[in-house]
Structure 1
Amino acid sequence: MTKPAVVAVSGVKNSGKTWLIAAMLPYLNAAGVRTAVIKHDGHSFDADTPGTDTARHLSAGACGTAVFDGEKFQLVRPAAVSEVDLIPLFPDADLILLEGFKHSAWPKLELVRRGNSGRSVCEARTLLALVTDLDILPDDVPRIPFGDAEAAARVILDYLQRREQS
């Protein structure tokens, strides 16, 4: 089976995607699953803090910058990329969680939360489960109570196990 597995954590804006990913990570780590996260930002963001040396290098015309301290590194390259381009940057990961990607074909957990959204916006065929506090369609998709990160992590662990066996 190809490594790493990829699962999207999807939903409309402010549905709780970041919260769910952060809450699932301890369960995934405890199960021995090395997990990386790739977040899609639908807006432009500053890849570097204004005023830093690397930001100055970029604004002066460098085609990219990197900074490291012996424990971690950050690479900034102005370029159009997709998640498919970024996945190979994590060859040691067993799992990559994508934050966002609601209209993608990736298998996913979708968050649908009262007061934020009233229905699923993802294609049912891509859903591993809905994480929701609503009684919504599709009925044939497993439901996880909103706030139950352990159950959401179990769905992903079950998916990884099925994937490994195929």
Structure 2
Amino acid sequence: MNTISNKKLIGFAAYSGTGKTTLIKLIVKILNKSNFKVSVIKHAHHDFDVDKAGKDSYEIRKSGAENMLISSAKRWALMHENTNNSELKLSDLINVLDTLDSDIILVEGFKAEKFPKIELYRKEIGKGFLHTNDENIVAVASDSKIDIDKNIKVLDINNPQEIVDYILKYLNIAR
């Protein structure tokens, strides 16, 4: 089993409404323009379904298939039913992505797991910092000037290129 520590992976930690998904979308676009293969792992706190009722793939899954892989010329998707209703660890999900040859894996969520993260901080959200309780936060991206006592890099949340540059340097990835 591979460990999280040897991966080209960085996460984003923030309170709801801070703009994690919006920033990740911008970062993915910038990385794609530089021809990086980017994968994203997002944790959902609720039940979700990417399939549509009435479609063959949905009906096959609902009949009891634990895994349903659907493919076309444009994309493929693997739907896996967690029959024991337990959350997978981030390392398990990374192992699934290992076969896809990603240059960089971005992670949204999995706050309790130990891997490098960038904290997103917006003063108007009205919440405190996360890095004070998470030694895995390596940088804070904020929309306001902040003073941090720790040896943590401060980034501009409104400058996704600066954040991409930091990620590439932190992960030691050449352009």
After TM superposition, the score normalised by the length of structure 2 is 0.80
- Correspondence 1:83 to 2:79: no
Matched, 1:126 2:129: no
Given that 1:40 and 1:99 are in contact with CA atoms closer than 8 Å, whether structure 2 keeps it comes out as yes
Describe how 1:8-27 pairs up with structure 2 within 5 A: 8-27=11-30
Match 1:28 to one of 28, 31, 35: 31
| Distance (Å, rounded) in 2 between the aligned partners of 1:72 and 1:111 | 31
Structure 1 residue 72: Cα displacement: 1.6
1:147 and 2:158 correspond:
yes
Match of 2:122 in 1: 113
Structure 1 position 47, deviation (Å): 3.6
Residue aligning to 2:171 = 160
What root-mean-square deviation, in Å, do the aligned CA atoms of Structure 1 and Structure 2 show?
A: 2.3
Q: Which moved more, 1:87-96 or 1:6-15?
A: 87-96
> Which stretch shows the higher mean deviation, 25-34 or 12-21?
25-34
Q: Tell me, which stretches of 5 or more residues in structure 2 are unaligned?
A: none
Paired AA for residue 137 in structure 2:
L
2:102 paired residue number: 93
Task: Tell me the CA shift for residue 139 of structure 1.
Answer: 2.9
Query: What is the count of residue pairs matched by the alignment?
Result: 162
Counting aligned pairs with the same residue, the percent is 27
Given residue 149 of structure 2, which amino acid in structure 1 is its aligned partner? Answer: D
